A and B are shown apart, each in its own frame.
Chain A
Amino acid sequence: MMPVEYDAIVIGGGHNGLVNAAYLARAGKKTLVLERRHILGGASVTEEIFPGFKFSVFSYVVSLFRPEIIRDLNLTQHGLMILPLESTLAPLPDGDYLYRGADHYESYRNIARFSPRDADAYEDYSRSMYFMAKAVKYVLGIIPPDPASLHLNDLSGLARMARQFLNLDGDQFYTLVRLMTMSSADFLERWFESEPLMGTLSASGIIGTFLGPRSPGSAYVLLHHYMGEIDGVFRAWGFAKGGTGAIAGAIASSARALGVDIRTNAAVSKIIVQNGQSVGVALENGDEIYARVVVSSLDPQQTFLKLIDPALLPDELVASVRKYIYRGSSGKVNLALDAPPELACLPGPGPHLRGAISISPSVDYIERAYDDAKYGDFSRRPYIDVIVPSMIDPDMAPPGKHVMSCFVQYAPYHLRDGNWDDQREAFGEAVVDTLAEYIPNLKDIILHRQVLTPLDIERTTGLTEGNIFQGELSLSQLFFLRPAPGLAKYRTPIRKTYLCGSSTHPGGGITGAPGRLAALEILKDWQP
């Protein structure tokens, strides 16, 4: 056997893999990160797709990135800067718009144009979501205890968690149960009555999931838009200067400073298992590297069905990994623009261009977009979350030019007719046509268009079915069920083998939390 070169090998140089490696190195472990692509970041990459124009190709905004990771890994020193996204503008088909920004009363007046009641209720809603986020925040930061287990650690974990929830007063607890069970549309109707507000708010309940605003369970996803607010952050959503690749870049820089070795163009073909424990990995080029511990930041499909011989795994585990739901539902269109976009509802420059522009005029609009997807078509009139990064960070495009990032839903991975290679451009057309209704000058200023279908996301990043969260963020796949019972504590049935990606608790988005929590668990297990 070859000599053991590393304490730990982390498969995948996405942001969670890098965070994991950095924390292991911080504890003195000699760690290697292996990335298949030529660049680091996974879905958190910035690439110059068109000369002079830089795109956050996949993931494009950040809200939940754990502040303790920024502090622990000294990421600001390594170049991380998250700029605020100031507002959300929902342009409407009739030329009107709903604008919500940092100015409380301005948002109030904007909402009041559609419903004076909703303007008042908006604060009650935000307050409720604050309480919900506060309750759930604790859960996001712990190793999920398994309620079916009688292990002492699980029981005490459950008891501690129960105490957290007992801190909620009655109304807050009932709201939490509703949040966990209701559809986002029904949940929002408890406060609101006006279509534009409910439409744009309900959009937060479907992002990255294969759910419509009227699907039960979508309300929980709403909460993700509020989680960042309780860490003392003024605006929850932000844009990383230099694009989301700069986040991965800062973590990688910090990791290297801590002694982590990072190799790109180093695709892993196999986790080498001997006597029920991982001893290293084999690369596609045939190299073998040995380590005491192997950590996979890839999703369960990749880790257990491709890198490990399923025959080595318990049948039940293989079955639950095979049943784990990915169901990619979103696509991305990245545009290089010759000039600033002009909105029909608010022509000219303004703060609204520095925030999100959400094509979500009503709940029905989004639900209809979902209807298309339910039966295997991409949405003809999709929900689109647009940001213009070059308005926030001028270094993203040449002076006077712009880049536009369009997150699109729904784009089902499994198409009923045809395949994505044939449908890609039609999908891109549908997105641009939809946007052009609200941004009349759009078609005239497009210099370059990059259309990413779920298939493209899968091919490039390795995310199965192009699911941006490494598996649906539905309640049935969260906490002690993420990604499957028995895998929720980052450990796997193969000894010295761990998971640390978004498929583990607390889930997807650029949070770094799975990477960090996994590292803490690995270090707990460490025996000299």
Chain B
Amino acid sequence: MPIPTPFHARTSALCVSHEWRDWSGYLAASLYEPAHDREYYAIRSSASLIDVSPLYKYEVRGPDALGFVDRLMTRDLTRCVTGQVMYSPWCDDDGKVIDDGTVARLAPDRFRITAAEANLVWFQDCAYGMDVEVMDVSAKLAVLALQGPNARKILQRVVQGIDLERLKYYRLAEGKAGEIPLAISRTGYTGDLGYELWVAPELALPLWDHLIEQGEAYGIMPAGMLALDIARIEAGLIMIQIDYISSRKALIQAQKSSPFEIGLDWAVDLTKKHFIGREALRAEHRQGSFWQFTGVEVDWNSLEALFGKVNLTPRLTGKASRLAVPIYSGGRQIGQMTSHTFSPLLKKYIGLATVERKYAAEGARVSVEVTVEYTRQRSEARLVKTPFFNPARKRA
């Protein structure tokens, strides 16, 4: 049975939909209200509060902490200054992605890694022989994501000791919310202006109350996983086991992906002297990857025409789908769209996809499978760059 997070006393009272899901063994609200629309719009128009405590969190400390995270991650962590956060995947020796997450430098010899899956064995084994300690601190930190255009204004009313105007994208600082010590990172999974708040579990509820109280006038509201899923697809952010499969979980070789194949080329620094998977990734870089990550925009007119044939208008659930659908080019399947959703903001049907690289040119015309009245149809679509939605406020 999933267990409550430190915020459960508040989230459960608000979750009138009674729709929960299991997130890494914790109860996570799918949506709070009977419909998730307002929660989605809170992310994009005001401010949403998302309980992301189930994230796996690891603390790395010791004289070799920097050497360790730099050896682990495909990005150059030597450039990560104290108070900075970097997003990076990490790979096995074959250059296949195990997981992806953020690495925060808390002090010169102290880092915190967030992960979607348990990674303790991998991290500790990779640290063998180094003067560094890797600890699972997942249950020792409650985490709230405060995401949306009003996030900063709310925090400014709540937090002391941090100059939020100057806290840049992917930076972290420590301060207080009244009597509550906390760390704030300017990170998130929505592609919007947003922060993540890191607090001791016993102080989780007072922090929640404080934020709700001060945020009310700014339209703060809790948001569940359904709203978050739409936002992260709009932001072009991948999800493990959905958009790619961890090499630790893959049952066959073909299920594994390199960072180049899941859109994380930018997060691989092949000039680094050494990191796990480097040789394999250098070779793949030379030869070219087989797969490529891409955004897909389904042609609305085509979609409308398919439904029109049976005298219907496009019937979309309004929720993001994690059921992969085939993508075709000239009658041949060239890949699959692994996450897809109607974007309420963009009024487009969009998706994240993996296609064979040789077909992956930006703007390429493809077709994707849609089901119309139990029949499999193909709608015209176009390969596009991600993110689909990228407001200036995210970094401003």
The residue on B at minimum CB distance from A351 is B1
Query: B1 to chain A: closest CB distance in Å?
Result: 6
CB pair B121–A124 under 8 Å, yes or no, is yes
Q: B118 is contacted by which of A106, A108, A130 (Cβ under 8 Å)?
A: A108
Instruction: Pick the 7 closest A-B CB pairs, nearest first.
Output: A105-B25, A120-B118, A120-B120, A120-B121, A116-B136, A121-B121, A117-B120
Asked if B344 lies at the interface with its beta carbon under 8 angstroms from chain A, I say no
CA distance A335 to B1 in the complex (A): 32
- Contacts A119-B118, A124-B121 known; A108 to B248 CB distance under 8 Å? no
CB pair B25–A127 under 8 Å, yes or no, is no
Which residues, 108 to 150 on B, are CB-close (under 8 Å) to A? 118-122, 124, 136
CB pair A120–B25 under 8 Å, yes or no, is no
Asked if A491 lies at the interface with its beta carbon under 8 angstroms from chain B, I say no
Q: Which residues of A contact B124 (CB under 8 A)?
A: 117
CB pair A105–B24 under 8 Å, yes or no, is yes
CB pair B24–A117 under 8 Å, yes or no, is no
CA distance A117 to B2 in the complex (A): 20
CB pair A103–B1 under 8 Å, yes or no, is yes
Asked if A37 lies at the interface with its beta carbon under 8 angstroms from chain B, I say no
Query: B341 to chain A: closest CB distance in Å?
Result: 27
Q: Which residues of B contact A117 (CB under 8 A)?
A: 120-121, 124
Q: Which residues of B contact A130 (CB under 8 A)?
A: 251
* Range, interface on chain A: 10 to 19
CA distance A127 to B136 in the complex (A): 22
Asked if A309 lies at the interface with its beta carbon under 8 angstroms from chain B, I say no
Query: Residues of B at under 8 Å CB distance from A?
Result: 1-3, 22, 24-26, 118-122, 124, 136, 248-249, 251, 253
CB pair B253–A127 under 8 Å, yes or no, is no
* Interface of chain A: mostly helix, strand, loop or mixed: helix
Q: Which residues of A contact B26 (CB under 8 A)?
A: 105
Asked if A263 lies at the interface with its beta carbon under 8 angstroms from chain B, I say no
Q: Which residues of A contact B118 (CB under 8 A)?
A: 108, 119-120, 123
Q: Which residues of B contact A103 (CB under 8 A)?
A: 1, 25
CA distance A116 to B120 in the complex (A): 8
CA distance A105 to B22 in the complex (A): 9
Q: Which residues of A contact B248 (CB under 8 A)?
A: 123-124, 127
The residue on A at minimum CB distance from B23 is A105
Q: Which residues of B contact A112 (CB under 8 A)?
A: 136
CB pair A120–B3 under 8 Å, yes or no, is no
Q: Which residues of B contact A119 (CB under 8 A)?
A: 118, 120
Q: Which residues of A contact B251 (CB under 8 A)?
A: 127, 130
C-beta contact mask, A434-468 vs B, less than 8 Å → 1, else 0?
Answer: 00000000000000000000000000000000000
CB pair B121–A108 under 8 Å, yes or no, is no
Q: A108 is contacted by which of B1, B25, B122, B253 (Cβ under 8 Å)?
A: B25
23 contacts between A and B (CB under 8 A): A103-B1, A103-B25, A105-B2, A105-B25, A105-B26, A106-B25, A108-B118, A109-B25, A112-B136, A116-B120, A117-B121, A117-B124, A119-B118, A119-B120, A120-B120, A120-B121, A120-B122, A123-B248, A123-B249, A124-B121, A127-B248, A127-B251, A169-B253
Query: B108 to chain A: closest CB distance in Å?
Result: 26
C-beta contact mask, A120-142 vs B, less than 8 Å → 1, else 0?
Answer: 11011001001000000000000
The residue on A at minimum CB distance from B120 is A120
CA distance A105 to B27 in the complex (A): 11
Query: A188 to chain B: closest CB distance in Å?
Result: 14
CA distance A119 to B25 in the complex (A): 13
CA distance A103 to B3 in the complex (A): 12
CA distance A130 to B2 in the complex (A): 25
Most buried by A among B1, B118, B120: B118
Q: Which residues of B contact A105 (CB under 8 A)?
A: 2, 22, 24-26
Most buried by B among A104, A109, A112, A116: A116
CA distance A121 to B123 in the complex (A): 12
CB pair A109–B3 under 8 Å, yes or no, is yes
Query: A23 to chain B: closest CB distance in Å?
Result: 33
Q: Which residues of B contact A127 (CB under 8 A)?
A: 248-249, 251
Which residues, 68 to 127 on A, are CB-close (under 8 Å) to B? 103-106, 108-109, 112, 116-117, 119-121, 123-124, 127
Q: Which residues of B contact A124 (CB under 8 A)?
A: 121, 248
CA distance A121 to B118 in the complex (A): 9
CB pair B120–A106 under 8 Å, yes or no, is no
Query: A484 to chain B: closest CB distance in Å?
Result: 37
CA distance A123 to B120 in the complex (A): 12
Q: Which residues of A contact B22 (CB under 8 A)?
A: 105
Query: B263 to chain A: closest CB distance in Å?
Result: 26
